[in-house]
Amino acid sequence: MSCTINPLVKKIELSPIRELSDAALKYCDAVNLTVGQPDFTTPEHIKLYAKKAIDNNHTSYTSNSGIFNLREAASNFINKKYNLSYNADKEIIVTNGATEAIDISLRTILEKNDEVLLPAPIYVGYEPVITFCGAKPVYMDTSSNNFVLNAEIIKRHLTEKTKCLILCYPCNPTGSIMDKNALAEIAKLLKDKDIFIISDEIYSELTFNNTHYSIANFKDMRDKVILLNGVSKSHSMTGWRIGFIFAPEYLTSQIFKLHQYGTTCSCSISQYAALEALTNGFNDSEYMKKEYIKRRDFIYEELISMGLTVVKPEGAFYIFPSIKKFNVSSLDFSIKLLEKEHLAVVPGSAFSPLGEGYIRISYAASMNELKRGMEKLRHFINSL
């Protein structure tokens, strides 16, 4: 009966990130620099609070939107951190990670034949949802601008079918960020257009040398923006699966329907853990960020010394060197690197066709692992 399966689902391909990560498991000495998984453990005070929540029997369903205290904490957190104002009662939904937030936000706004603008290279999780909605992903090449989107690039891709723009800064896979001036130009371009903006800011707390600024800060933009965030990267809580949607009520009231029927609510214990993270763990990301900067600098200098062309990341924990000079596809390069040197990275082609010619390296790993990884990469490059 496979012929009766929804053809839009059959069209979706599995994530190459997980495929390479899983392939590395068969090598006992492999260095795995694929998945965006912080190597820091969840802070102890968060784990203790979660244990206390279990002891206090907070193990039942919560409000569909999430426990109010958590929504209030999320509202306070982004207000103090980024000067953003969202009502805890009507404008915030607690989701099962930012992944669910992406899914239900896109499915709420998209219709068949809509076009979605994506700055590329870009995270793999958007395109499958767009395709499933019957909409069309429109990739915008940012490589000539150090992987940073600007208003001029957007302008070249706008059509009557444009329904949504996706922003994801700090960026996975490039580590690039957007400053206030670039966002202001985009806001000026789009303020009078009926185009939604999904701003995925999951790495906002891992902005290195600048203050993170959101497109939602512009008053002409707030009613168009669906802002996504969570505690996975900021507090090393990937497995707890807590994300947030911040949006005006006319949007959250509709997005809520998909969340309610799709998942009921996020895990109660995880919600209490996130509450602790956003209150008593207000600056938990600082010590992690300092370490990521050290690792970023080490990886960057190593890649430069190997003769690779690479843009120095300003956020997240990824770096995206070019391998174009080797005249081999990024997938073949990554497979051979794993087979010969037991080093796992992600082919750039995983991040849209415009990622071809690059590889993504995650430096969310210990310095010892990164040193081993760079030795393996250097040996492999010298053999080409």
Say yes or no to pLDDT of 14 above 90: no
Average pLDDT, the chain: 96
Q: Return all residues near 35 (Cβ < 8 A) that are at least 6 apart.
A: 17, 18, 21, 362
| pLDDT of 246 over the 90 cut | yes
27-55 pLDDT per residue, tens: 889 999 998 899 999 999 999 999 999 99
Give the model's pLDDT for residue 150. 98
User: DSSP secondary structure string, 94-143?
Assistant: EESHHHHHHHHHHHHH--TT-EEEEEES--TTSHHHHHHTT-EEEEEE-G
* Confidence band, pLDDT 50/70/90 cuts, at residue 12: confident
pTM: 0.96
Helical axes 367-383 vs 330-341, angle rounded to 10°: 110
Residue type, position 350, single letter: A
Say what percent of the chain tops pLDDT 90. Answer: 91
What is the DSSP code (8-state) at residue 207? B
**What was the pLDDT predicted at 222?**
96
Question: What phi and psi values does residue 227 have, to the nearest 5 degrees?
Answer: -95, 130
Report domain extents, the chain.
Answer: 2-42+284-383, 60-279
Give the 3-state secondary structure of residue 317: coil
According to the model, what pLDDT value does residue 320 have? 98
Q: Model confidence over 121-136: pLDDT tens digits? A: 999 999 999 999 999 9
Q: Residue 20 pLDDT more than 80?
A: no
Is residue 288 within 8 A of residue 38, CB to CB? The reply is yes
Question: 60-279: what fold?
Answer: Aspartate Aminotransferase; domain 2 (3.40.640)
Q: Architecture of 2-42+284-383 per CATH?
A: Alpha-Beta Complex (3.90)
Buried b (16+ CB within 10 A) or exposed e, 319-334: bbbbbeeeeeebbebb
The model's pLDDT over 317-346, given as tens digits with 9 standing for 90+, comes to 999 999 999 999 999 999 999 999 999 999
DSSP state of 365: S
pLDDT of residue 270: 98
Q: What is the pLDDT of residue 333?
A: 97
- The model's pLDDT over 208-223, given as tens digits with 9 standing for 90+, comes to 998 999 999 998 999 9
Taking a C-beta distance cutoff of 8 angstroms, is the pair 36, 349 a contact? no
Asked if residue 86 has pLDDT above 90, the reply is yes
H/E segment holding residue 269: helix 268-279
By the 8 A CB rule, do 207 and 315 touch? yes
User: What values do phi and psi take at 57, rounded to 5?
Assistant: 60, 35
Task: Tell me if 164 sits within 8 A of 117, measured CB to CB.
Answer: yes
Report the pLDDT averaged over residues 224-252: 98
Say how many C-beta atoms besides its own lie within 10 A of residue 80's C-beta. Answer: 10
pLDDT score of 374: 98
pLDDT tens by residue, 277-292: 999 999 999 999 999 9
